[in-house]
Amino acid sequence: MPDSREMNREIDYATLAELALEARKRSYAPYSRFCVGAALLTESGRIYQGCNVENAAYTPTNCAERTAVFKAVSEGERRFRAIAVAGGEKGAETLAEVSPCGVCRQVLAEFCDAETFEVILARSPKDYRVLTLGELFPLGFGAQNLQG
């Protein structure tokens, strides 16, 4: 459990935002210089951080949100409550609001209930907006679409 932390049952948006900002500092973004961090809260109370990892070929690049989800899934977690996302130009003092890309929204939809999973769009631990996955990903495709 080296990259996870514990959190009580209440979602502490400021702490998740702070951990997303912390993870952003570890981004590997030499090409876009757009650094993103994420902090994913599981139902068990553990938190997994992720950062974006770019690649010169671009396609192998992985977003912060997917890094956090894949870390959690690889540790046996399958149920999530919330994710905080923070991003912006490397070295920027002020961050813009950043939301998960379409691929990350699809990955989150694989594991999260659209109506209850919360996405915290963080500019700082005190400046953030909270939306549900359903608000960010209306009419998303999921397992229910594969049933006859």
| Other Cβ atoms closer than 10 A to 135 | 13
Catalytic-labelled residue, pool 54, 65, 77, 118: 65
Please confirm, yes or no, whether 65 is among the known catalytic residues.
yes
- Nearest-angstrom CA–CA distance, 33 and 93: 14
* DSSP structure string for 23-50: HHTT-B-TTT-EEEEEEEEETTSEEEEE
In sequence order, the β-bridge partners of residue 47 are 5, 41
The two counts, helices (H) then strands (E), for the chain are 4, 6
What residues act catalytically? Answer: 65
